[in-house]
Structure 1
Amino acid sequence: MGLKIRKGRVQSMLTPIQALPQTGIPRPEYPRPEWERADWLSLNGTWSFRLVPGETGQDELWQDQQEGEFDTRIVVPFSWVSPLSGVGRNEKGVGWYRRVVRWSPAQTESRLFLCFGAVDYSCDVWINGTHAGSHAGGYGSFEFEATGLWRTDSDNVIVVRAEDNDYSYQARGKQGYGELRGIWQPVWLEARRNNYVKAAAFATRIDGRVDVSAKIEAKQAGKAVLTFDFDGGAVHCSEELELSEGLNEVNVSFAVADPRLWSPETPFLYEGEVRLVSDTGEDAVSTYFGIREIGTALFDERKYRWITLNGKPVYLNGTLDQSYHPAGYFTYPTDQEMRDEIYLMKRLGLNFVRIHIKPEEPRKLYWADKLGILVMEDMPCFWGNPDETARASYEREAREVIERDINHPSIFSWVMFNETWGLKTDDKAPDQTRDWIPANRYLPETQQWVREIYRWAKQFDPTRLVEDNSPCNWDHVESDLNTWHFYKNGYEIVREHVDSIVDQTFPGSTFNYCDGYAQSDAPLMNSECGNVWGIEGGAGDSDVAWHYRYMLNEFRRHDKMCGFVFTEFRDVINEFNGYYRLNGTEKRFGYEWFVPGMTLADLHSPDFIVIDAPPCQTADAGSTVEVALLRSSFSDRHFGKTLHLSWELWFDHLGVRTVAEKGSVALDWNGYGVSPLAPLAVRLPEQDAVAVLAIRLLTQEGEVVTRNFTTFDVRNGKFDETAGRTGKAVSLPVGQFKHHSFPYQWNAIQGHKVNGGGEGKFEYEITLPDQAELRFLSNVEIYFEAGAKRLLARNVEGEVYTKADISFMHGADANTERNPNMYYMTDEERHESRIEVSIDGEPVELFLLPDDPADSRGVLSWHYQTAANKLEEAGSYGYLCKINVPGRIAAKLDRTRKLLLTIRADKGGVALYGRNAGRYPMDLLVRCE
């Protein structure tokens, strides 16, 4: 790709609107696969629409207007702000929807319901001019009975009024990424029998017992039979009932023989039907349940608990999922894309996801159930004061969400609040200029309300863990999980921080809790982490691979810690800390260069070898260093077996991979938790090198359990480029060029990297060994490390710090490319450049530089950063370029012993890496024999 200055990469990578299915009906699947009826009609698709900005709309009586009065069309179920809606107007106010529908239930005398996945925020519905009902709350599902209003033999007019004015009491979450306005989840019609099963909550135990709390709506009192059939009839239960008119609550229990337990590794679902047979006919619902138990437990002599799944410890390798789509915003265009979201998490070795500041769509939760990933689901926050109105609307909506999602086995935890958003009392709601931590108060009476909410949720759903508030301000009150947030950068800083947290975590400690409250023995885990906010002004788009590896090693050092939540799964508008780009394309972490076959999944193994060392250390050539190791196990898969720790110390010398030492250690693998292993002592190379200690944990059959590595910058004062060969070498720092002709030129990493942006050249005058040092030049080779140079807005316009505050979460422009810490991490999008190398004006070689990469392979560019909270082209590196100088030119050089080296780049530019930058510890090198 050619040079192109952009405000931000995300905008250039939006999923096109054409990605909608060609059937003409977006999202045609039944919206709730965990509670599905056969007789239904999707109302997704094109509706007539009119947007009335501001706090008006009902006075115009649009519910009585004819088709011609609606001035545009909208594609349901997409927010009227999103591109996929076809409207794309980010305006508050009232949206009026109109749809003409003709449909008859398959069976006469059925009851008909108009169902909404979610509408933000308040909603009124008319059917054939008669008001069918109202609802308030942007995330809960709801329905209105349409039986007496519906005409089965002619057209029906449905009109929906949706008002969204961002009132301070509304539960909104992080809608700044893309506003939810109006209908944003599927709409459908559904037929049911006069007596029908409204809901059924399954509570399972690992011994196979299943307790069901069912709700039955009866239009006609009388006898009925409630039947459960699952797993092809292997699980069957029938219960005779005496129904009264109205709502009936029924409790049923049955046992599953030889239960197959649900887990991320074995996500078995008992699929089947719930049927109600009464005088009004048979009502059937397709549903499923998973048998699993979530809990916490003390193990051995520990005084702190671990999180358990099915009675065993589980280490939660998780990520924060904003559930944001660039074209549909918080509504995914297709079911396949929701399924692929879960797949993309699992392929990284993750077993857990935190759905952030919003409940997830039921179909995505279905894929979490089906494919197997644990879910921590957040309640959305309001942004105003926690007054009576806000509390009442929050409580109503939280109940709706938990009632709807309670049957998903993937959900293991409810998070009731996040970072005290909406819990601090002030004179006004936060605006876009307010600091990250507003100067307002988390009052004792609000803390007590949060405690009541925690206890209500725990009583309502005792089968899951509940967290009061996921904190960044040390302000728990009562919680099943003792979590904390941190965004810090730098190995020593992260290490000291995590050590401090662990040391202050014990029963009775007042750390991380509000005044008057104290810790229990609840499990310790991190619920947000990453270097996105650990940098002054924010990290922009920069490499996360280096930071991620040492952070996970630090986590796994600690026996108390039960897991983490990495921010985040995909990049979003202002946070480019994702495993993937916003459009799902790959980032390249580069771990396979250090240990063949290594991926992110190796860092998420339940059986793990901790390298208790910095990500890179400076050491003397030829010295022996000792590397501390720990075993961390949260799985009993290999207990009682012998595993083998295989290791090798290797380095790359001018493109040749050389193994200096290797060995293997047998380990008796037993016991949960963290324990020390014997350290490894390795002897480093005798020359300047980036040396890699690569380890693999293997089964007796040779299966790789996990991989890990650490690095050393080995120094002896020179790059021993002539080891084993006769001759001399000349090394010239890359910053000592005689001349350049680039329109943009600057140096970085303390002058060890030089950049030329756009088309231009660097010229170097190099003096070769004279005849006294080397009588005859029989062979001349030139080596250097070079990458392409992508120009960013800050390179052209200058650096601008944007204050890192909460305004980004309300849609403020993050100006990513102007951020001084910005340097695109290696990914699928490449920035190529071609360079021509000349000696004394005569071309000798052409190189294609595939990219301007930055990831964990840029060891020296990371190791020689001067500040942990400011990044200077961190992780950037290039490609090894080697030139065998033709004999006719070598003959000339034999006479003159001088050369003019010219490196000319096309519009893709060039970056040259010196001794303390990139991945090769060398400057420009001319080797003469």
Structure 2
Amino acid sequence: MTTNTANAAQTDIPRAEYPRPDWQRSDWYNMNGSWSFQFDHENLGLSAGWEKSDAHTFKSEITVPFSWSSPLSGIGSNDKGIAWYYKEVEWAPAAAGSKLFLRFGAVDYKCDVWVNGSVVGSHSGGYGTFEFDVTDVWSLEGRNAITVRAEDFDHNYQARGKQGYGEIRGIWQPVWLEARPQDYVRGAKFNTSLDGMIDVTTSVVAKKAGKAQLSFSFEDGAVSHRIDVELSEGNNVLRTSFVIADPKLWSPESPYLYEGEIRLTSGGQTDSISTYFGVREIGTAIIGDRSYRWITLNGKPVYLNGTLDQSFHPTGYFTYPSDQEMQDEIFLMKRMGLNFVRIHIKPEEPRKLYWADKLGILVMEDMPCFWGDPDEQARQSYESEAREVIDRDYNHPSIFSWVMFNETWGLKTESEAASLTSDVTHPHNFLPQTQEWVRDMYRWAKQVDPTRIVEDNSPCNYDHVESDINTWHFYINGYNELRNHVTGVVEKTYVGSTFNYIGGNAQSDAPLMNSECGNVWGIEGGAGDSDLAWHYRYMMNEFRRHDKMCGFVFTEFRDVVNEFNGYYRLDGSDKHFGYEWFVPGMTVADLHSPDFIVIDAPPCQTLDTGAEVTLELLRSSFSDRYHGETLQLAWELWYDHFGRRVVMNSGSEAVEWNGYGVSKLASLSMTLPEQDAVAVFAVRLSTADGKTVTRNFVTFDVRSNEVQGRYELDGQIVSVPVSSFSDSKWPYSWNALQEQKANGGDTGYFDYDIQLPSADEQSAVYDIEIYFEASSKRLLKRNVEDSVQKKLDISFMHGALADPEYNKNTYYMTDTERHESKLNVRIDGELVDTIVLADNPADSQGVLSWHYQQANNKFEEAGSYGYLCKVTLPSTLTAKLNASRSFKLQLEAVEGGLALYGRNAGRYPIDIVVHHKG
């Protein structure tokens, strides 16, 4: 017989840690690991008595707690239907006379459980935790047989959420045994206040009536409270309060947890539970003389920099492979400067919520949706799961909001679609009776949890009913289109407005924020796998321009199987945004600073050389960290002159940083360069001691409009368009970006006939240098095959697989994977240089490739750029050219392909520039 003392040594099983650190007992046994498994597609198991069978009945093995469809399960089958699990366990509680519970983190969807052939219970619902008292059927000596029959038929009434990336099937969260005394604490709910008042509602189950003592001890006993109670047989609800002097508040910046235990002593036994709480208050408030509210944390405004998290993993699907990976998720979010995450259409695993509590990130947690009509069965199923979710996760200080529905999914009565298509009072089949049910769910959630913000429906169809926050979704690309859209939403948001509401309902003064945004769905055919850095920066700038907006949710944290718009790749590896090229040290986190400098200008403008430009600046503050201080705002206007950084203008000024919200700063005027250039206006806000608060920038394409271009070079130049090659040989080649870019792959060359000035025009030619912008060229499947564009429909919402290389908009964003090329440069057949092109990058550095896109809803190699290449011809060769005054330039890729960028492509406003002195 083994006891719980062996549990700590269970390192050879997945997810060996205790599943619920927010509610943990010490006497437990982890049942993750290998179970016997068998599909039952013909539903023969019950009639064949499999619940009383042994392991020989089940022909396969599965690794719990992973969905049977996931690779980590060892099954890897997406079959829906019925499956059976079987495991034998030998274990006894440490204390004689203990009650024994078999606990399941979650099983999708319906399950029946037997122990030693005796039924111990059933459960329906794919996301809630549940348990069965198995005391009376458990053998304390010898082995015990646990049998689980799981059904998952994807019924329309099931709350499934967005499982299509990888299905949740069967057991998909940990399973464990847990011992408790005869009288035990079923649960406790902590409500905290900033004054230190802690109200606790505790549920106690007693075997019989009698006296008991309930005690709370946190901070190693520094916070303690004890009450004597009279228990009745069965369930008891006990309410008590205690006060913490000078409470330490929980926030993402300082995620302080009061860790300790609850103890129930009765009948000579003690039930001890390790738990914690955080002191924090979530609310909304009108600040100053505004007519609208902001979201507040601990009584102060908080700007919500958030991301949508699908919580999907390629091996475990919606079950994290390890506890470390849950910690890493929170770390990766905070590294980006984010302070909150929206868990999309599913409740998160409890251990990840623990790390959100422990490491400090706010959580907006969605209820999972069903996909059929909102009929009675679907509503009952949904309501049951919503109760389980809120009850399970109530104590997590990180959770600040419940989202009851998403984008009207499950709220449309599709069975009546034909009769409603022309009924303008019932748009998209969201019927009045369903709207009232949504209102009921919102009010119910407010009643059971008055401590949090509740949203009725996170809308993409402007169809709120009643909500604590006024959110909306959009997926729009293009600066002007996005600016106009956001401005329009802000202007139509005010008390009494019917915008963004349905059924005659109207806005209150609820805070305005975006709850989904990005460019993945704003592109014809989907954005594929492309750079998001350019779009992201101007979108952040537009959001912070509006005093009324108090947050956003960017889609999304990591790439998934059919969406490639994450901050990170699916495996968590980095994408490269390129902001540091414009402003030294700048990262994405600069765009998430609660104290921010808005540059109220497009991301790039085309202006003449020497033009005067005036820029409007705004300060946006959603933190009082620097209020009352004088900050330094430094700026500079610079451009890259053939690899040399030239600063045209710079300066700084002191800014009194007082008050929340958005207000104007002094505008700045300056003169642009007198040559063709990509000019960068960069700002840096810093403290008196030099610590950077935030950085930002905008760019200008400065044009001379001269045929050869105008560049401050000592000598003369000949500019040759990259598409004007006289000969080429490649397996695959094409021009792009309106003939401003030449592509070839995988091996081959471009030849250019270069004509220097004649002897009559220039008596001698000396010191020839050739400048050009080039990168390697990664061939995509669509470059070598016919493009296969999958039609965008609801299947993509369910995670329909898509190969991005066939998508016409795909051009991989710069990341940790490199595609190297070796470039040989020949003059009249003579090799003069070999250049290694490190990659085929695309990010915000591709200013011109973004600026000259012809359509905002289609990408043509958007954001692509190269490296500035300089080749100096040897003097012996220059002497020959002094006589011939012409030569053949060959650019040959021996491997990895070649892309050449012209005047209106890449990041340097040059064609092939031949610079010579005479």
The answer to whether TM tops 0.5 is yes
| Pairing 1:678–2:666 present | yes
Determine the C-alpha separation between the residues in 2 that align with 1:426 and 1:59.
37
Q: State the match for 2:216 in structure 1.
A: 228
The answer to whether the 8 A contact 1:645-1:667 is kept is yes
1:167 to 145, 155, 165: 155
Q: Which residue in the other structure is 1:299 paired with?
A: 287
Checking the alignment, whether the CA contact within 8 Å between 1:471 and 1:483 is kept in structure 2 is yes
Q: Are the aligned partners of 2:323 and 2:351 in contact in 1 as well (CA < 8 Å)?
A: yes
Q: Separation in 1 of the partners of 2:618 and 2:711?
A: 36
Give the match for residue 491 of structure 1: 479
Give 3-state SS (helix, strand or coil) of 1:427's partner.
helix
Q: TM-score, normalised by structure 1?
A: 0.96
CA distance in 2, matches of 1:155, 1:48: 15
> What corresponds to 2:185 in structure 1?
197
1:514-573 residue CA offsets vs partner (Å, 9 max, x unmatched): 021000000000000000001001000000000000000000000010100000000001
Question: Residue 69 of structure 1 aligns to which amino acid in structure 2?
Answer: T
- Aligned counterpart, 1:823: 811
Partner of 1:557: 545
Give secondary structure in 1 for the equivalent of 2:68: coil
Corresponding residue to 2:361 among 355, 358, 373: 373
What secondary structure sits across from 2:882 in the alignment? helix
Contact 2:405 2:457 in 1 (8 A): yes
Instruction: Determine the C-alpha separation between the residues in 2 that align with 1:463 and 1:134.
Output: 32
Aligned-pair distance for 1:599? 0.4
Deviation of 1:645 (Å): 0.6
Which whole-Å CA distance do the structure 2 matches of 1:714 and 1:827 have between them? 29
Q: Is the 8 A contact 2:416 2:429 kept in 1?
A: no
Q: Name 2:456's counterpart in structure 1.
A: 468
Q: Distance in 2 between matches of 1:54 and 1:171?
A: 24
Preserved contact between residue 164 and residue 182 of structure 1 (Cα < 8 Å): yes
Q: Distance in 1 between matches of 2:554 and 2:544?
A: 14
Structure 2 residue 866 is the aligned partner of structure 1 residue 878: yes
1:34 is aligned to 22
CA shift at 1:772, angstroms? 2.5
| C-alpha distance in structure 2 between counterparts of 1:482 and 1:531, whole Å | 21
Map Cα deviations across residues 372-398 of structure 1 (whole Å, 9 max, x no partner): 000000000000110000000100010
**Pairing partner for 1:404 from 378, 392, 402:** 392
Q: Which residue in 2 is equivalent to 1:711?
A: 699
Report the Cα offset of residue 775 of structure 1: 1.4
- The CA distance in 2 between the partners of 1:837 and 1:129, in whole Å, is 78
Q: Is the 8 A contact 1:118 1:140 kept in 2?
A: yes
Choose which of 653, 657, 665 in structure 2 pairs with 1:665: 653
CA apart distance, 1:721: 8.0
- How far did residue 722 of structure 1 move? 8.3
**1:796 partnered with 2:796:** no
Supply the AA of the counterpart residue of 1:620: D
Q: Name 2:844's counterpart in structure 1.
A: 856
C-alpha spacing 1:291/1:644, structure 2 compared with 1 (3 Å): same
CA distance in 1 between counterparts of 2:466 and 2:815 reads 42
Separation (CA, whole Å) in 2 of partners of 1:55 and 1:604: 53
What CA distance in whole angstroms lies between the structure 2 residues aligned with 1:330 and 1:151? 34
- The alpha carbon displacement at 1:677 in A equals 0.8
Q: Contact 2:704 / 2:710 at 8 angstroms: preserved in 1?
A: no
Say whether 1:605 aligns with 2:593.
Answer: yes
Is contact 1:376-1:415 (8 Å) kept?
yes
Give the corresponding residue for 2:634.
646
**Following TM superposition, by how much is the alpha carbon of 1:777 offset from its aligned partner in structure 2, in angstroms?**
1.6
Task: Please tell me whether the aligned partners of residues 676 and 711 of structure 2 are also in contact (alpha carbons under 8 angstroms).
Answer: no
Q: Give secondary structure in 1 for the equivalent of 2:639.
A: strand
Q: Is the 8 A contact 1:115 1:188 kept in 2?
A: yes
Shift of 1:95: 1.2
Shift of 1:27: 0.2
Distance 1:751 1:721, change over 3 A: closer
With the length of structure 2 as denominator, give the TM-score of the two structures. 0.97
- 1:246-395 alignment runs, 5 A limit: 246-395=234-383
- Structure 2 distance, partners of 1:592, 1:886, is 35
1:898 and 2:901 equivalent? no
The reply to whether residue 508 of structure 1 matches residue 505 of structure 2 is: no
Who is 1:7 aligned against?
Answer: none
The 1:580/1:725 distance shift into structure 2, 3 A limit, reads closer
Measured against aligned partners, the alpha-carbon deviations of 1:832-882 in whole angstroms (never above 9, x if no partner) come to 111101000000000111110000000000000000000000000000110
Residue 23 (1) aligns with residue 11 (2): yes
> Greater relative contact order: 1 or 2 (C-alpha under 8 angstroms, separation 6 or more)?
1
Q: Which amino acid aligns with 1:707?
A: R
One-letter code aligned to 2:68: W
Instruction: Tell me the alpha carbon deviations over residues 582-618 of structure 1, each in whole angstroms, 9 at most, x when there is no partner.
Output: 0000000000000000001100000000010000001
Secondary structure of the structure 2 residue equivalent to 1:651: strand
Pick aligned residue for 1:921 from 906, 909, 912: 909
Residue aligning to 2:61: 73
Q: Structure 1, residues 292-348: CA drift from partner, whole Å, max 9, x if none? A: 000000111111000000000000000000000110000011000001000000000
Q: What's the secondary structure of 1:59's corresponding residue?
A: helix
Change over 3 Å in CA distance of 1:212–1:531 after alignment to 2: same
Deviation of the 1:463 alpha carbon: 0.1
Task: Count residues with an aligned counterpart.
Answer: 902
- Give the partner amino acid of 2:539: M
- The answer on whether the counterparts of 1:384 and 1:428 sit within 8 Å (CA) in structure 2 is no
In structure 2, distance between residues paired with 1:186 and 1:658: 59
Give distance in 1, aligned partners of 2:714 and 2:674: 17
Q: Secondary structure at the match of 1:857?
A: coil
Q: Percent identity?
A: 66
Match for residue 133 of structure 1? 121
Gap regions ≥5 residues in structure 2 = 1-8, 419-425
Corresponding position of 2:71: 83
SS at the partner of 2:387? helix
Contact 1:722 1:729 in 2 (8 A): no
Q: Distance in 2 between matches of 1:55 and 1:801?
A: 40
| CA 886–719 in structure 1, closer or farther in 2 if over 3 Å, else same | farther
C-alpha distance in 2 between matches for 1:645 and 1:515? 48
Alignment of 1:461-860 (within 5 A): 461-718=449-706, 726-860=714-848
* 1:910 counterpart = 2:898: yes
Give the unaligned 5+ runs of structure 1: 1-20, 431-437
Structure 2 counterpart of 1:749, one-letter code: L
Structure 1: distance between partners of 2:787 and 2:906:
23
Partner Cα separation in structure 2 for residue 365 and residue 209 of structure 1:
24
Corresponding residue of 2:5: none
State the shift of 1:718 in Å.
4.0
In structure 1, C-alpha distance between the alignment counterparts of 2:591 and 2:112, rounded to whole Å: 50
2:99 counterpart of 1:111: yes
Q: Name 2:4's counterpart in structure 1.
A: none
